[in-house]
Amino acid sequence: MIQIIDNCIPIEQQNDLENHLTSLNFPWFYCDSKQYGNEIPEPSPYEKALEHFKGVVDTPQMIHLMYTENCYYSDIFPKLAGLISAPTKNGESIERIIRIKANLTWPSNTRGTTSIPHIDYQGDEDFMTAIYYVNESDGDTVIYDKRFGEDISDMRVLQKISPRKGRMVLFDGKLLHAGTNPTQYRPRILINYNFIQHQANKVEIIKEEIK
């Protein structure tokens, strides 16, 4: 299921995050690929998408790592409390945060192109991906109907989500997805947030295993 939460945090927090991430003092770091963090051997198996789909291009982006596996890397992390808790408003319970990072994508004059379909984390566990749009922009997020490891030769678009400031989209993290460069705004900024949901019956499972 794909969930969209508009105004997932109060407007004051939305403005604070946007102002912080667009200030001259906020550090961005160049990354040559939108597959950062996947640790995929070269050539990437996702590049097979190029054989089946037109307009698939892996373009550079700027990134800012905020948190990964029990260690925060950015002084902006304390500002993310409302954002981190936003999924719980829809009944989700967060067991563990895997990674939080910000992405900045430059405008493109080539319409109809997307980055290479990918997932953000290749662990064995099921996880959720949340994408928060920091600023008003264009450049849809495209979510496909195939999960990581499945044959993508007949892959179809499951849903396209347009960026809106304050919007969060939540979906199964194993679903392949891709970003789209903006063509009307500059730039497109989002916060990518991966987490593992709490399993309500986990304690009971552990008890059974002990027996």
The total number of structural domains that make up the chain: 1
The runs of H, that is alpha helices, within the chain are 11-21, 49-52, 81-85, 202-210
- Residue 107: is the preceding peptide bond cis (ω within 30°)? no
pLDDT (tens digit per residue) in 100-141: 999 999 888 777 778 888 899 888 889 999 999 999 999 999
pLDDT (tens digit per residue) in 47-101: 555 566 677 777 889 999 999 887 878 989 889 999 998 887 666 678 899 999 9
- Residue 78: is the preceding peptide bond cis (ω within 30°)? no
Mean pLDDT of 186-208: 70
Q: What are the residues whose beta carbons fall under 8 Å from the beta carbon of 68, sequence distance 6 or more?
A: 98, 99, 100, 101
Q: In degrees rounded to 5, what are phi and psi of residue 7?
A: 50, 50
Distance (Å, whole) CA 59 – CA 181: 9
- Domain ranges, residue 201: 3-210
pLDDT number for residue 6: 97
Q: What CATH number should be reported for the domain holding residue 150?
A: 2.60.120.620
Q: pTM, whole model, 2 decimals?
A: 0.86
Across the beta sheet with 141-147, what order do the strands follow?
A: 157-161, 141-147, 175-178
